[in-house]
Structure 1
């Protein structure tokens, strides 16, 4: 039987650095809705699930999921690893794709390619990690449900519970870790397309206003071309601190 591939998007309203960012409007649509629409263009995904919390403030995320006919699961706010495991179990996932809700330019073709790379090899976990040069905000992680169960069993520290896959790639002796070869055109340390702070959203808002036609998803290569033509735009969020673990 073919393995079931499920994308689980972690989303909550209570971000400490930029609260309510996942539903901030880009061209009259919530950022999370743009992300969902981009993931719907993936050919290798069988299902999309939004994993949010049981907090009342996240009712609005559930409303968005229902509006877009997307399944959702509500679990722990801080134990995101457990929330992922329970979400995956609920939909009988064999392979999990982890995407965070603050990446409104996620690249469907890259997601498909990482899934295919994972399925063609015998890894437990695969990702084109940012430290290898991938544009920040295109981050895509793929791992098996079995690896997720194993991480849940072994990961005890709070930091590992909060960051779903950190235990996997910090403990390569327990997991077979694969690194997806990033296409050269997607390698750029200077481009930051995720939303952690106000400056990030300011750049993303400009890009959406310049490139979104109200119907089709924005081609990531149009974004790159615009930033290459107008590199001054990169100054908007160049000083945002990147989190490292």
Structure 2
């Protein structure tokens, strides 16, 4: 089945309100964003990766990172993230967009691949493993056609839809064909925060990466879960962090 060009977009900027510069903070000697890029490079179905950052001067270090690591970069609006992701996808010749946020540095390449394959099998407009919360936060993968993204942009000027890239799509199952992936029991832990929002998240992720990456740089979701189940005291590090979607 011919399906077109599959491109991962990574939304990343330096001016996070809760943890400025977080995507370039180091763990095991390399930036969090490089951990993410290396994981996406291990996803067999991806044809390209493009970092979607902003035109702000503050994000020059991200553009410099992209140049240094030979990753494509697109610079667009800070507030219109939907427009920025569409621009990034177009710049890379995408037909299918795999949307990843820069705060998911230990995303599991196998889960990304599974989400893409599910998308291709169902020939859907949109497939996600994050709308129905089951996996740990930080494994979030959304796959959609560029056509669906562009249609959503034409249909909505709501600031929330422009900030949250796929919101209009998954809130309109009457207009788009949707598939939601749910974690198997072994990977079900929706309350586990493995996303990089605040300083306490950085501390936990740094501990996980520095413990697991020396043995397997691309350790999966299952390995992270197993490590934290055997070291439950570490869960206290970021237990009090309130996620934006939980407010």
Unaligned runs of 5+ in 2: none
Q: For residue 199 of structure 1, report the CA deviation from its aligned partner.
A: 1.1
**CA distance, structure 1, for counterparts of residue 136 and residue 188 of structure 2:** 6
Tell me if structure 2 keeps the 8 A contact 1:130–1:136: no
Deviating runs (4+, > 4 A) in structure 1?
none
- How far the C-alpha of 1:238 sits from its partner, in A, is 1.0
1:189 Cα deviation from its structure 2 partner:
2.5
2:192 is matched with 191
Alignment match, 1:39? 40
What whole-Å deviation, never above 9, does each CA across 1:46-87 have from its counterpart, x for those lacking one? 100000011111111011111111111000011000001111
The number of aligned residues is 245
State the partner residue of 1:210: 211
Tell me the CA shift for residue 122 of structure 1. Answer: 2.9
**1:1-245 mapped onto 2 (5 Å cutoff):** 1-129=2-130, 131-213=132-214, 216-244=217-245
With structure 2 as the length reference, what TM-score do the two structures score? 0.95
**Offset, 1:23:** 0.6
Give TM-score scaled by structure 1 length.
Answer: 0.95
Please give the alpha-carbon distance, in whole angstroms, between the structure 2 residues aligned to 1:27 and 1:52: 24
- CA offset at residue 184 of structure 1? 2.3
In structure 1, runs of 5+ residues without a counterpart are none
Note the C-alpha offset of 1:239.
1.2
Could you tell me whether the CA contact under 8 Å between 2:187 and 2:221 is conserved in 1?
A: no
